[in-house]
Amino acid sequence: MTSVPDLAQAREILAAQPFSDLLGARLVSFGAGEATLELPIRARLHQQHGFVHGGVLSYAADNALTFAAGTVGVGRPLTAGFAIDYLRPATGEILRARAAVIRAGRTRVVCRCDVATIDGDGVETLCAVAQGTVSFALPPDAGAPPVAGGW
């Protein structure tokens, strides 16, 4: 891919991730330094107290951060690291991770992500915040110059 993918292409990239497919994740927005990922909350994603497992929130933040970075970076985006703070137990029908680029460098992009749940009435409740750094690896042909969106 020689340019930043559009929403349809980004959705194909997400669909190619077996774990994302297992969770039922979908990319609802992608572009201009931002990305939003959603997934349906179901009982199989809960921990023993009936809340969405922290690992699921972490997955959503990690992937949203990387997709947001992928709207501005050159090469293949790979998470270099991220931190997440859980603010309240996650319950509801939909988990939404909304990420935005804070600073885009040549090889590293820093992003922030809000993770929220949406209940049956459409009320959104913030349950976690994350910040991460995404590095951009060279495309598979390392001898070639990197290209934007070369996922």
Each residue of 8-58: pLDDT tens digit? 999 999 999 999 999 999 999 999 999 999 999 999 999 999 999 999 999
Q: Which two tokens stand for residue 148?
A: 């934007």
Q: Give the global pTM.
A: 0.89
Residue 151: pLDDT band (50, 70, 90) is: low
Mean pLDDT (the chain) is 91
